[in-house]
Every structure is written in C-alpha cells, then in structure tokens.
Structure 1
C-alpha cells in the first residue's frame, strides 16, 4: 500500500475480543488511525446467552450487543459484508455481500486495503466440509452456528413442536450441545408442549468429554432426571425425518439440531498467513501472526502457537484487552505485551433456566445459585458494552 499520514486498521468480524477493542478505541483512538469494521450482522449475539434464549428466559434483544453505537463511539465505520478472502501480501481483505446486507452490491467495494488487520470472526461451520462428514446435514439440520441465524430459526422449530409430538436430537455433546438439549427440553415443557422426545447424540467421545469425571457425572445425572436419552454413537448423515448413525442404525427424528465442533473459515486457506494444522490463524503470545506482524487474531478463528487452548468464548473475552493494547502499540511503534491465557477458567453449564453446573480446575458443584450467578455474569457482559457505546 502507498503510505499516507493516515493508517488503516480493519477489524474483521465483531466477536467478543473486537467488542472490547471498539470500547477501548472509544476511549483512545489515535487521530491518524482510520478504523473499519467488517461484519455481516448489525449486532453481536452473545453466545453465552443462547441457551437462555432457547429456553425462553431471554428474548433476542437481551442477548444482542448493537454494533452501530460501538462503531460510532470508536469513530469507526462499518461495512456490512462477509470476508471472502485475505491477501496478506497485498494487504487487502476481499468482501462479499451479506445475506441481510442493506448495502447494494454495486456499492459494496470488492476489497478494502489495510495497514493493520485484526481478525475475530468467531466460530463457523464449513457447510461443504460438513456435507462430506454428514451428508444431508446442511439441508436438514438446524445448525447452531452462526448463532445469529440459529436465533431467527429456533421459533420455527417451536412451532413444529406445537403442531405434533416431535422427536428432537441434539448432535454433539460438548458444552454447546449439552446446554442446548437442556434448554430445548425446558422450552417445550414450560410452554406446555407434551409428547416430545429428546436424544443427545454424543459422537465418539461421550458426554462432556472435555470436562473432569465429576462434572461428567453431574451432567449425566441431570440428563437422566429430565428423561433425555444419551446415545453414544456418531451421526454420519441426516435425511428427512431421520438421523443416520455410525453403528448402521437410524434414529427417527423430526428436529435434528447440530452443535458439533466448528471449523476454520475456508477463506483463510489462500491468505498467505501461517495457519495451524486445522486451518486457523496461528498467533504468538501477542495475538500476532508470526508470518505477518501487521496481522492479529483472537477468538475461535485463531490458535496460539505457544499456548494452545480450547475454542471457547471465555478465551476470546480474556484476549480482548491484550488485543486492544497490542493493536495500538503496533500502530504507535511501541513494544507489544504478551497475553497469557488463563490456566483454569470458570465454566458454568446451564441445565435450563434455574440450574447450572459450575467448575473451576478440580472444583465443581451445582445448584440454582450457580444459574443465577451465570445469569448475572452474562447480563453484565452485554450491559457493559452497551454502556461503553453510550
């Protein structure tokens, strides 16, 4: 790029870390830094509140952080678009229209240049890859990612459940799948919808495989208490009214909900950036690309080369302050500060409204108080970033 007095920072995505970056820029944005946010949605849906939305405890607006006030407070501009590619050599981000974009295609630029790029696009499900692993899933399943789309489709699933007794299967028994099946069961029960059957399909690793044995036992007890069937099998395909299993069996299913692990965005492959084996942006202790020092990344789109950790929203939230600090330091030509992800994180698994399982390191317990704690934390996160835009 030809050098000018103004440097261009592109924030690609509006994930948890970038929400903090925008809040920080609202407090301190250098006059010579031009900031552009690229995101397909006018808000960020906070993933921690999605189970409460499904259960009926929250409405959609409770879980959304509007993007426009944050962008305006930061003195930035927003382009409603998706990323279709990055050229790290030419320092350009390629754009494609968002499905809900209000910007006409002939006005949307094909790409935008940057001097400094930060990537926080969140978790994605690559539908082409999904079709290879589970033929029919992208057509017949309700997929949790992107959350913004899932939130708009969930009411239709409820309408189907009201019309007839349904069989619902949640595919994936990590934190997202566990919370989702509890929330769906509660939603139907509290609305007086009877006759539904719920199944949690675990895949190869069992229920809550990333948690300690004591937490897994607690989850299994809660599943049994709510008469949710646990099926230790893999999903290998989905057809109308049916989930095909790795064992060769077929499970009758009216509503398959997909909460499996996510993928790296396919548009990263030809970016020129150094990627992890799974295709995520590799970053160092400064959340910085080792191959391109003017590119930073945080959240599920990235992998720390020095400190790998699970793909979880809590790590993206924790990385936000360090990312903001290092983006401004890089712009000013100052030394960067390392960010060390926490060794242990507080995990709160919602078992529907009114009960949660909490764990931290070796310690774990559960109760109604734990759910109230989770509710306060989640509401406070959204409220904090609404206040920062005021």
Structure 2
C-alpha cells in the first residue's frame, strides 16, 4: 500500500479528539506515528463547568486527563499551542503553552504531517474582543479558555463571602444562562446576602437560538430567581461598570463574559479554505474542502453542506466518524459521511438540582432532568478517564 511511517498530527484535546485517542488505543496501525499538540494535560469538560461554578463538582470531576489517553494510543504529547499552519507545506508551527517550567521544554519550531486533524475547541481572540467590547480583556471574567476560568471562579466566591456582589452575565446563549443560574445558586448559598444578578442578552431574547418552549421556561426561571434581564448590548467595560448600547451604565462587581467564541487567529494565512467567520470549511466527511489530508471537528470548523450550532453536543457526536475517517484516510479507504442529528437533546442546567430539556418540539424541566444530565455528563467522563499511572 504505502511505504514508511505516516505522521498523524492531532491539534487540540477537544471532545472529538478524546474519542479519536481512545479509538487509536484499540486499533493503531503499526505504520502510523501520532503526535498530539495541546497546552493542557487535561480537557476540562465544558458541560460540567456550570456544576463546578454551582459548587456541585470539584475541578477534577470536570477534567479528563489526556496523558493516559495519549499513552494508551501510543502517541507523543507536545505541550504547546499551534501558532500557524502551512497547508501547502504540510507543517504546523508551534508556540509555548504558557510559562515555561524549565529550559528543557525546547519546542520543535514546526511539525510535519501527512494527516492533520484540528479540534482545538472554542477560543476568544482577545484582540477581536477588544474591538467588539473595549475594556473587556482587562475587566471581564472570560469563560474561555475554560481551564483558566475554572481557576478564577473560586476567587469570586471568596470575595462574595465578604460582601454582597453584583454579577452581570454578558451573553444569553446556553453557556451564559447556565453560568448565571450556577453563579446565582452558589453565591446565594455561600455568599453574603443581597447579591444581585443581571443578564445582558445582546439585544435578543434569552436562549434565542433554542425552541420557543425552552425559551419560555428559561424566562420563567429567570423571573422566579429575581434575575434582571436587559435586552441590550454590552458596548464596553470599565472597572466596576458595564456600558450598554442604550447609553446607560450598569454598576457591576463581576462581569462574566459568555459570548460566542471566535475562530483561532492562527488559521488566517494557513492556506486552508475558511468560512467568512474564519472557521475551517469542511465537507460531510469532516474533511477540509481545500486540503483532503486535513480534517477538523468541533468549534474550529464549519460544515459547508449542513451548518449547525457550535456546541458540545455536536462536538461529541463528531468523534466516532472522525476516528473512522482518519483511519480510512490513512489506509486509502473510502470515507464515510457524518450526518449531524437534525434534533439534538438540549439540556440547560439551572444551578445544581434543576434543569430544562428540549428535543425538537418537546420540552420539560425539573430535578429529574438535572439528574439525567448529571448522569450523561458523568458517563461521558468515565468513558474517557483512564487510570493514571
């Protein structure tokens, strides 16, 4: 078939790649050399971060250790970030993961590949954020990268014990709503009395992209918890102040920013075909429309044939077909199309102990929905959490 070793480069430790690694642990072609590039030794599972904020999960409950998965797959781990791709030359450029622990973390300037898969997860481009919302990079508590947010939240809880805080969540998609409900529950039970909570929706209805039944339930829940809903945009942040599109200002101790993520800036100039928003354009095989040896899944890509929301549900679903197609591409076999589901199960947690569900036109809520979500999330974690050596 082909001669010599082929190099498979996995950029990122997102939901789909976690599955690819567990699959490679079961069947790894002998002539495949696998390298994983990711800055963190674990993946923080975004679906459980609201539970972490609510105080229901510990940090380790929400983390999938990547090293055991990488080891089981017989892969090498390079602790770094991608800083650019040369699609024509089939190379990825790297930059250090963060504060260098020691001088022996010398990075190769770039890594060659025969096959490349990108699943780097959602990012906030701080430069673009500053253009969108001046002052946000310095004054907001930003939900991405989730690994950083998870370490900062406990500091907010400490502050809240000393005095009543005013919290504003900017962004009324699922991430913003779950964060707001979780923060409200945590600070009401563990913080000083009198905390105030505001949702700044960006001018739309809360949960605007979801079915009407779920939206109505979300609104009722916000009202019941006395959370102020401002259908306005955030146009700037200063210390202690959120500036609104209407011209008014909201005094606020903790602005939590949960707006949609951006495409990574390093995709620009890669030579890969990109969407208008800068995401990797992929076909029904999760394969780059311009470079057949490149695959992408999760938040970093856009389907040309079937656009769908960027969320964890779709990212998790893309894992098995991505693993199939990477192995098929390596063996020179035909690829299989991945059909994202038309209806997905949407579960929005309202703190720990209550959640709202929708599937197509059906919707429901209650403690049982939350227990069901908790069960699904824990099962996902257990499936990919290997014993650490």
Counterpart position of 1:165 = 164
Alpha-carbon separation, structure 1, partners of 2:347 and 2:219: 15
Q: How does 1:92-103 map to 2 (within 5 A)?
A: 92-102=91-101
Counterpart position of 2:215 = 216
Is the CA contact (8 Å cut-off) linking 2:157 and 2:190 kept in structure 1? no
Question: In terms of mean alpha carbon deviation, does 113-122 or 95-104 score higher?
Answer: 95-104
Counterpart position of 2:206 = 207
Counterpart position of 1:68 = 67
Structure 1 position 102, deviation (Å): 3.8
Structure 1 position 104, deviation (Å): 3.4
Counterpart position of 2:128 = 129
Is the CA contact (8 Å cut-off) linking 1:355 and 1:371 kept in structure 2? yes
3-state secondary structure, aligned to 1:288:
coil
Is the CA contact (8 Å cut-off) linking 2:69 and 2:386 kept in structure 1? no
Provide runs of 4+ in structure 1 moved above 4 Å.
Answer: 387-390
Is the CA contact (8 Å cut-off) linking 1:80 and 1:103 kept in structure 2? no
Alpha-carbon separation, structure 1, partners of 2:113 and 2:102: 21
Counterpart position of 2:316 = 317
Is the CA contact (8 Å cut-off) linking 2:164 and 2:191 kept in structure 1? no
Counterpart position of 2:7 = 8
CA RMSD of aligned residues (A): 1.4
1:145-192 deviation digits (Å, cap 9, x = unpaired) = 110010011111112212221111000000000000000000112215
Counterpart position of 1:185 = 184
Structure 1 position 106, deviation (Å): 6.2
Alpha-carbon separation, structure 2, partners of 1:314 and 1:347: 8
Structure 1 position 259, deviation (Å): 0.2
Alpha-carbon separation, structure 2, partners of 1:327 and 1:103: 34
Q: 1:153 to 1:4 in 2, by over 3 A?
A: farther
Alpha-carbon separation, structure 2, partners of 1:171 and 1:372: 27
Is the CA contact (8 Å cut-off) linking 1:23 and 1:389 kept in structure 2? no
Structure 1 position 4, deviation (Å): 6.3
Structure 1 position 101, deviation (Å): 4.9
3-state secondary structure, aligned to 2:335:
coil
TM-score by length of 2: 0.98
TM-score by length of 1: 0.97
Structure 1: unaligned runs, 5 residues or longer: none
1:299-318 deviation digits (Å, cap 9, x = unpaired) = 00000111100001111110
Q: How does 1:357-376 map to 2 (within 5 A)?
A: 357-376=356-375
Counterpart position of 1:350 = 349
Are residues 1:40 and 2:39 paired?
Answer: yes
Alpha-carbon separation, structure 1, partners of 2:381 and 2:103: 31
3-state secondary structure, aligned to 2:318:
helix
Is the CA contact (8 Å cut-off) linking 1:242 and 1:253 kept in structure 2? yes
Alpha-carbon separation, structure 1, partners of 2:111 and 2:33: 12
Counterpart position of 2:261 = 262
3-state secondary structure, aligned to 2:204:
coil
